[in-house]
A and B are shown apart, each in its own frame.
Chain A
Amino acid sequence: MSQRATESETVSLPDPTERLLAIRDLDAGYGDLQVLSDVHMDVADGEYVVIVGPNGAGKSTVMKSVFGLTTYMGGEVIFSGTDISQRNPDEIIYEGISYVPQTGNVFGSLSVRENLEMGAYILDEVPEDRIEEVYDRFPILRERSDQSAGTLSGGQQQMLAMGRALMLDPDLLLLDEPSAGLAPDLVDDMFDRIDRINDDGTAILMVEQNAKEALRRCDRGYVLVQGQNRYEDEGTVLLNDEQVRQDFLGG
């Protein structure tokens, strides 16, 4: 036990315009139901940030709110200096954010290649070089190129979902529980791949159930509880904090 994780209230927030993504005082939810209150979060250029917390804490809701999929109730979501808090997903995709939902994240009846093509739908032409890059990153997808996505294994579908999201070379990639439903021996491989995507310069904001592993690998982490910020610090600091370990990481 070396360092105490920082309680959120004491943090002085960085200037939002200097951040890739800055969430400030965000209130959001679904219909009349408010899930998030006063949430703040930052992702710097190329940073790898993880959100952990108990079930129902609103982790996925943060992601969806960034992507314009929730009901906006107040606050700001600033991306590259512009407020995107009240935009629709089809506008946000142009800003340089891609989102990989937790479930149903591939088009099952389309082929692997067609899924990647759909990832670049907003471009006038299919970017062959991007498809090649995705295939280089996930070679299994090249092998399965003409196979329909629904016939892929869970891990392969997850790779395809990420590949689809990488087609536009986003500045920020939102990943919702990428390890969910994977066989245990595939989980590490998935985390390695995410590390590599981040090493290549893409900032990542990720929700992960597998909190210990995620915190070990990320730059910074946020602990979210009941739709509010609880702790935030470097991943390893959170990982080693006794309070955080006991309350959220199962000892």
Chain B
Amino acid sequence: MGIAEFASDGRVVMGDRPGAVVVAAVSGFLLLDLVAKLAGTTVFFLGTKLLGGSLTVGSLLSMVVDGLLVGLAVGLAGIGLSMTYSILDFANFAHGDTVTAGAFLGWVAAYITAGLGTGAPISELFMLNSGRQLSTVSTFFPVLLGLVVAGVGSVAVVLLVDRLTYRPMRNTDNISLLIASIGVALALRYLIAFIFGTQTSGVASGGLRVTLFSMISVTDNEITLLVVSVLLMLGVHLLLQRTKLGKAMRAMADNEDLARVTGIPTERVIRLTWILGGGLAGIGGYLLVLESGTISFNFGWILLLLIFAAVIVGGIGSIYGAMAGGILIGLVDSLALIWLPSGLTRASAFLVLIVVLLLRPSGIFGGVSTA
């Protein structure tokens, strides 16, 4: 390619997609800055610090691991949000509080089983305030049981909510459903606050710390999150691709009217959607608490914005998009710490959301729907 041609190509890109050029320039600058930081050099320009600083490879890697972990949990929780959007056609604002409900149910179960026989009063165990910190290694079975209870419990919650709220209004428009879901969100959240109070309780901490490649340090709880969420995502993938009901779910997400005339039992598929989405949301919430160590009545609600961002980045309606979007948003949220104070990292996640939507309005996996 000749220079002239190259230059004119460049001009075409500049003219057609100025946004892409700005994004490329900013990314290039940040990358340069990152390299400078890793090299430990600082570049000054006209007396002010232009770029650089110091950052060890080890801390960069642990940021990546942190982001990946949060991202996996967010992706797990996002699957349900994306599915209810594509199959039931509405944005479920109660999804974040399903995450909270599942996490509380799971942690109460784990706490009580771990505390039995230690002489701690049941009431204290139930309120999650005995001061004990659980970890996968030290209390394997209670943590495992809690995981199962989180899944099963959140399934029960969403099925109950569907039966009481959404099913009677199945044929109404999606705005009504959306508004109903906000009501459900508030009801769930303050029911939890009513029972467990509004304080933040510390319930988990790493029981064992392993150093990988002599640089990255991870806890047993973090490994649990990683293993469980990867296994579950794989399970969802197999379910969707290999099983009859999974294929029917994809079919229904694609074209509900055609699914109906083909003889797919749509009510059953809807129920499975709730079961799968709710269960994964509860487990996602439980795992996040396992990783972060603390639980409070509104953490799911706060997380919901991040989940929405992940699902939209991935392409709303796409299950694989939710997984990929979760990981992307998690990584951005964590890696933004390199450049921004910790209070602003959330904002960077939404900045990435905006940028992705500007460049690819239907999201990364948009238009591919569930496949």
Contacts and interface: CB of A to CB of B under 8 A. Distances in A.
Contacts of B251: 107, 110, 114, 118
Interface stretch (A75-83, A98-106, A214-222, A238-246): A98-106
Given A109-B369, A110-B250, A117-B244, A90 B257 contact: no
A109 B371 contact: yes
A105 B262 CA distance: 10
A148 interface: yes
Interface string A113-138: 01001110110000000000000000
A71 to B, nearest CB: 13
B26 to A, nearest CB: 34
A82 B43 CA distance: 85
B247 A101 contact: no
A164 B262 CA distance: 8
B370 A118 contact: no
Interface string B356-371: 0000000000001111
B261 A67 contact: yes
Interface in B59-75: none
B250 A107 contact: yes
A89 interface: yes
B369 to A, nearest CB: 5
A90 B265 contact: yes
A30 interface: no
Contacts of A168: 263
Contacts of A148: 371
B371 A89 contact: no
B236 to A, nearest CB: 16
Contacts of A110: 247, 250-251, 254, 371
A130 B251 CA distance: 20
B368 A109 contact: yes
A101 B368 contact: no
Interface in B11-30: none
Given A117-B247, A118-B248, A69 B254 contact: no
Contacts of B247: 110, 114, 117-118
B248 to A, nearest CB: 6
B208 to A, nearest CB: 43
B260 A90 contact: yes
Interface residues of B, number: 22
Contacts of A69: 261
B254 A107 contact: yes
A134 B31 CA distance: 55
Given A107-B255, A109-B250, A117-B247, A89 B369 contact: no
A10 B214 CA distance: 94
Nearest to A108: B254
B254 A89 contact: no
A108 B255 contact: yes
Given A101-B257, A121-B244, A90 B263 contact: yes
A63 B266 CA distance: 21
B250 to A, nearest CB: 6
Given A107-B251, A107-B255, A108-B255, A121 B262 contact: yes
Given A107-B250, A107-B251, A118 B264 contact: yes
B148 to A, nearest CB: 30
Interface in B241-293: 244, 247-248, 250-251, 253-255, 257-266
A93 interface: yes
A108 to B, nearest CB: 6
Contacts of B266: 90
A79 B76 CA distance: 47
Nearest to B267: A90
A109 B244 CA distance: 15
B258 A105 contact: yes
Given A110-B251, A114-B247, A121-B244, A104 B261 contact: no
A118 B184 CA distance: 34
A114 B265 CA distance: 16
Given A90-B265, A109-B371, A118-B264, A101 B258 contact: yes
A117 B259 CA distance: 12
Interface of B: 244, 247-248, 250-251, 253-255, 257-266, 368-371
12 contacts: A90-B264, A94-B263, A107-B250, A107-B251, A107-B255, A109-B368, A109-B370, A110-B247, A110-B254, A114-B250, A117-B244, A121-B263
Interface of A: 67, 69, 89-90, 93-94, 99, 101, 104-110, 114, 117-119, 121-122, 148, 164, 168
Q: What 8 A-B pairs have minimum CB-CB distances, sorted nearest first?
A: A109-B371, A93-B263, A122-B263, A107-B254, A107-B251, A109-B369, A89-B261, A118-B251
Given A93-B263, A118-B247, A118-B259, 6 more contacts: A104-B258, A105-B258, A106-B258, A108-B369, A117-B247, A118-B251
